[in-house]
Structure 1
Amino acid sequence: MAFTQQNLDALEQAIATGTLSIEYNGKRITYRSMGDLLKARDVIKTELAKQTPGSSPRSSIAIYQRF
C-alpha cells in the first residue's frame, strides 16, 4: 500500500486532538492506543520519505567534548 500525505495529515490531526479514530477516503480506522497512532505515523513518515527521491528521514547527533 502506498501512503499519501493525506494519510499522514489525518494521523497527525488525531494525535493532536487525542482522537483514536480517523477517517479518510471513506474508510474509518480506530487505533487501540495513542502509542499505536504514533507508531503508524512513524511508519507513514518513513514510507513517504522513501517515495521522495533524494529524501531521507532526518536525524541528528550530538557530540560532546571535554576540554
Structure 2
Amino acid sequence: MAFTQDDLTAINDAIATGELEVQFADGKRVRYRSINELMRAKQHIENSISTAAGKAPRRGVRLNVNKGV
C-alpha cells in the first residue's frame, strides 16, 4: 500500500486528539490499541513516504548524557 500525506495527516490528527480509531482517505477504518501503536504507525508512514520520494528513511537517535563525577 502506498501511503499519502492524507494518511499521515489522519494519523497526526488521531494522536493530537487521543483517538485510537483512524479513518483513512480510501475509506478504511483502523482501530489501534494504544497511542504508542499510533506513533509506530506514524513512523512507518513517514518512512514509506520518504522512501517513495527517494529520500533515506528517518532514523531515531538515542543519546545518553551523564554529568560525570
Question: 2 CA distance for matches of 1:37 and 1:58?
Answer: 17
User: What's the TM-score once normalised by structure 1's chain length?
Assistant: 0.77
Unaligned runs of 5+ in 2: 64-69
User: What's the TM-score once normalised by structure 2's chain length?
Assistant: 0.75
Counterpart in 1 of 2:41?
Answer: 40
Question: 2 CA distance for matches of 1:32 and 1:59?
Answer: 23
Question: 1 CA distance for matches of 2:35 and 2:60?
Answer: 23
Q: Percent identity?
A: 38
Unaligned runs of 5+ in 1: 63-67
Q: Give the length in aligned residue pairs.
A: 60
Deviations 1:1-29 (A, max 9, x none): 11111111100000000000011221111
Query: Runs in 1 of length 4+ with deviation above 6 angstroms?
Result: none
